[in-house]
Amino acid sequence: GQNIDQPTEMTATEGAIVQINCTYQTSGFNGLFWYQQHAGEAPTFLSYNVLDGLEEKGRFSSFLSRSKGYSYLLLKELQMKDSASYLCAVRDKSGGSYIPTFGRGTSLIVHP
């Protein structure tokens, strides 16, 4: 199985930049996902990384280092609506299941 670790809570100021880290341990890495989840709502897909490097998508970017078992989600020009939980999920191919395992999520609070 996987061991996924991310901070429980972070706070940031509107307009600022925040980086949410995720570390993982897995024997058969096959991709890392970031999801955003507002309170009481379903998770929504943000990004997918399977190769090392930075993937940029508007205000959100995601980085992966497979050798270090490390990823981060970078949020720029923070807005109040970015207050949400951010879930890191790792897919493992061992056993042929390819099923993502989620971390417990990082609750981001954006204040004025």
The residue among 66 and 76 lying less far from other proteins, judged by its C-beta, is 66
Span between the terminal Cα atoms of the chain, in Å? 40
Per the listing, tokens 């970078």 go with 74
Instruction: Give the distance from CA 13 to its chain's centroid.
Output: 19
Which of 7, 10, 21, 31: binder of other proteins (CB under 8 A)? Answer: 31
As a whole number of angstroms, the distance between CA 33 and CA 6 comes to 13
* Secondary structure (3-state) at 102: strand
User: Smallest distance from the beta carbon of 32 to other proteins, in angstroms?
Assistant: 10
Among the candidate windows 10-18, 45-53, 60-68, 70-78, which touches other proteins by CB under 8 A?
45-53
8 Å CB contact between 19 and 72: yes
The residue among 30 and 61 lying less far from other proteins, judged by its C-beta, is 30
Tell whether residue 43 is a contact of other proteins (CB under 8 A): yes
Binding site for other proteins (CB under 8 A): 4, 30-31, 33, 35, 41-45, 48, 50, 87, 89, 93, 97-105
